[in-house]
Amino acid sequence: MDGVSVGLVAVLALVLAAEFVNGWTDAPNAIATVVSTRVLSPRAAIVMATVLNTVGAMSGTAVASTIGKGIVATSQVHLVTVGAAMVAIVLWSTLAWRYGLPTSESHALVAGLSGAAFATAGPAALLWEGWQKVLVGLIFSTFLGFSGGWLLILAITWLFRKSAPGIARHLFSRLQILSAAFMAFSHGSNDGQKFIGAFCLALVLGRVLPEFQAPFWVILLCSVVMGLGTSFGGWRIIKTMGMRMARLEPHHGFAAETAAATCIELASRLAIPLSTTHTINTAIMGVGASRRFSAVRWGVAGEVVAAWVLTFPVCGFIGWVMALLFARIF
């Protein structure tokens, strides 16, 4: 019993570490554009993102249920599976942060959990129902993000075509604070919930919870930990997303954030886990491409896309290896 308790505490600590990294590396996704357009200082933007990420994570549990019950069969896995997945997330996300690349903790979580589950019990441990939602999330984050940003900036450009540039800039400098707040909240409502789901899955496997549910204390704990991670948001990723990928003005930032946040919030209410990183990145690409195709620095975008593509196989492989290693040790 003591061994099980110690193991459970260790796995829960790893989940919180991954949640901290989630806030740390994904915080720039919510505030990159509002910082790069100089509407808010980095410090003010991070404070805002910290608070609204926390509030967003407490706004529901639909995505948490998808992660906790829909990706792997609880009857086929154990605590080692969850612990191995969390190690994969922390290792991969930290490595990508070192090079200033925004990664998807959503895809890292799903891939790491699946790889570890495959090592634990084979294909029978994977649930197609949850993976369907992950694939739908890819459509949301890629196509809806890009087209939403592209269409919204075209509409803004047409509506304000006769306005003086100074008036439009002043207006959207104010509006972008609201869109950045919306983006931070939506990030919490989707990404924050994913690790609440992982935490509750560990509690079920550790026989603390009789069935999957998300107690308020778990929601609060994970939300606060993600908020703390957000307060350490990395300038490297802000620079990549908000400055290197495309040159942005306040109305561009408003369009990208509003389009991305709307997609994310819709996905959250439909219990679809999607990548906030992908969504805001593709929205920025859509906004940049609306001016002209060459307005997007596609070399930088290519580096970001490469990180997206690598996340699934790398985290799946690390999760698989760590699950086998932990099984031998413990």
Shortest CA distance to 146 belongs to which of 259, 30, 306? 259
Average pLDDT over residues 130-147: 88
Residue numbers of the domain that contains 226: 2-329
pLDDT value for 32: 72
Query: Looking at residue 49, what is its pLDDT?
Result: 80
For Cα atoms 224, 14, 132, give the angle at the middle one, nearest 5 degrees: 85
Comparing CA positions, the residue from 298, 257, 238 lying closest to residue 156 is 257
Q: For the segment 73-124, what is each residue's pLDDT rounded down to a tens digit?
A: 998 999 999 999 999 999 988 887 777 666 777 889 999 999 999 999 999 9
Nearest to residue 99, comparing CAs of 248, 286, 288, 300?
300
pLDDT of residue 3: 42
Dist. CA 10–CA 32, nearest whole Å: 33
pLDDT of residue 296: 59
Give the count of domains, the chain. Answer: 1
pLDDT, mean over the chain: 84
Question: Does pLDDT of 297 surpass 90?
Answer: no
Q: Confirm whether pTM is higher than 0.75.
A: yes
Task: Give the mean model confidence (pLDDT) for residues 168-192.
Answer: 89
- The pLDDT-based confidence of 27 (bands split at 50, 70, 90) is low
Q: What percent of the chain has pLDDT over 70?
A: 87
Q: What is the mean pLDDT of residues 229-237?
A: 66
